[in-house]
């Protein structure tokens, strides 16, 4: 697991000991407009050649806008982890907003194998970030709607604010959960609200079973080598660069090459063969939770298509 950190001060000491400093948002966001006018170039009317070229580009599909660079808007910082305000495709503006993070980031400690928490009291707070990574407000939970480390590693907090209240007060929209299974090769960005830092890479593939200590996760996302996530990035949304939708939640990585120990997950294939990939990091898919969120942001584990484990689930089954 990407170890939960005890406050920003402890996290800063951790990085300082490693010879690094906490990242600042401005240095990590690559959202500058690449279509800005070149300084010093006089504005002129389009020539016939330029107009013809533009028309040809449009016919060939080259005139389409490129996807916007992924930024921090809608992400949050927890006391020990990262997270994001998320919504399903069918969520309504007046629904209570949801914050997603990892199950191992819960304020009450890590759930045991097979443990599923539903509708637990919580007054946890979250620092909401804007596109640049600046903290613009504090959101508060009304309850822990769902949390587990069985089959997946996720927590969903229901907030005291609705989606429209957050957008009206802060001008920030929730990140949408993609309802479809992602594909290998997809360009992604892991967005850490805790560190105000982003990590860009691709989905390298999917792991049938990922084991770490006493926990087992299914169909996990494996990143390519470029996403060097660290402690405190736990719970970060994994965003599809092309759509801007969330496809997974960042949760772990093999730190020292050990086999199946805490902070050193191992991959287990369909034949039971174990593979250890030192330095490689992982996430848990989120498409399977979309059918579980019903009207009013209520969690319905019996809903058709809901892929989240229910209370009483048997770990690894």
DSSP string, 197-214: EEEEEEEEEEEEEEEETT
How sure is the predictor about 189, in pLDDT bands with cuts at 50, 70 and 90? very high
Given a cut of 80, whether residue 110 has pLDDT beyond it is yes
Give φ, ψ of 72 to 5 degrees: -95, -5
User: How far apart (Å, rounded) are the C-alpha atoms in residues 153 and 281?
Assistant: 14
Q: Specify the pLDDT at position 39.
A: 29
Does the model's pTM come out above 0.75? yes
Q: Which 8-state DSSP code applies to residue 47?
A: P
In the chain, the domains with their CATH numbers are 75-177+291-297 (2.40.10), 187-287 (2.40.10)
Assess contact for 119 and 141: CB atoms under 8 A: no
How sure is the predictor about 158, in pLDDT bands with cuts at 50, 70 and 90? very high
Q: Specify the pLDDT at position 107.
A: 97
Given a cut of 80, whether residue 121 has pLDDT beyond it is yes
Per-residue pLDDT tens over the stretch 34-86: 222 322 333 333 334 444 444 434 444 444 444 568 999 999 999 999 999 99
4-18, 194-208, 215-229: least confident range: 4-18
Given a cut of 80, whether residue 143 has pLDDT beyond it is yes
129, containing H or E segment: strand 125-129
Given a cut of 50, whether residue 243 has pLDDT beyond it is yes
Assess contact for 96 and 296: CB atoms under 8 A: yes
Given a cut of 60, whether residue 196 has pLDDT beyond it is yes
Structure tokens at 129: 């970030």
Per-residue pLDDT tens over the stretch 287-302: 999 999 999 999 999 9
Q: Which 8-state DSSP code applies to residue 218?
A: E
């Amino acid at each position: 697991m990407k170890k939960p950190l005890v406050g920003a001060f402890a996290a800063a000491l951790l990085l300082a000991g490693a010879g690094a400093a906490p990242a600042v948002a401005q240095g990590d966001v690559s959202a500058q407009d690449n279509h800005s006018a070149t300084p010093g170039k006089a504005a002129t009317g389009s020539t016939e050649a330029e107009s013809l070229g533009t028309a040809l580009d449009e016919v060939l599909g080259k005139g389409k806008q490129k996807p916007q660079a992924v930024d921090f808007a809608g992400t949050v910082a927890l006391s020990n982890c990262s997270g994001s305000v998320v919504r399903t495709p069918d969520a309504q503006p007046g629904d209570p907003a949801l914050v997603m993070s990892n199950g191992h980031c819960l304020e009450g400690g890590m759930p045991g194998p097979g443990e599923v928490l539903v509708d637990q009291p919580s007054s946890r707070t979250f620092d909401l970030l804007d596109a640049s990574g600046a903290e613009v407000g504090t959101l508060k939970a009304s309850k822990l709607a769902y949390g587990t480390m069985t089959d997946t590693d996720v927590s969903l907090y229901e907030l005291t604010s609705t989606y429209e209240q957050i957008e009206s007060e802060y001008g920030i929209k929730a990140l949408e959960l993609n309802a479809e299974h992602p594909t290998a090769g997809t360009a992604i960005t892991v967005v850490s609200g805790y560190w105000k830092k982003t990590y860009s890479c691709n989905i390298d593939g999917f792991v049938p079973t990922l084991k770490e200590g006493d926990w087992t996760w299914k169909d996990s996302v494996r990143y390519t080598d470029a996403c060097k996530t660290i402690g405190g990035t736990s719970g970060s949304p994994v965003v599809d660069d092309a759509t801007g939708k969330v496809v997974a939640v960042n949760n772990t990585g093999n730190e020292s090459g050990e086999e199946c120990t805490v902070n050193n997950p191992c991959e287990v294939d369909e034949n039971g063969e174990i593979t250890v990939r030192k330095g490689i990091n992982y996430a848990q898919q989120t498409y399977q939770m979309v059918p579980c969120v019903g009207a009013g942001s209520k969690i319905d584990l019996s809903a058709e298509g809901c892929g989240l484990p229910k209370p009483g689930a048997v770990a690894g089954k």
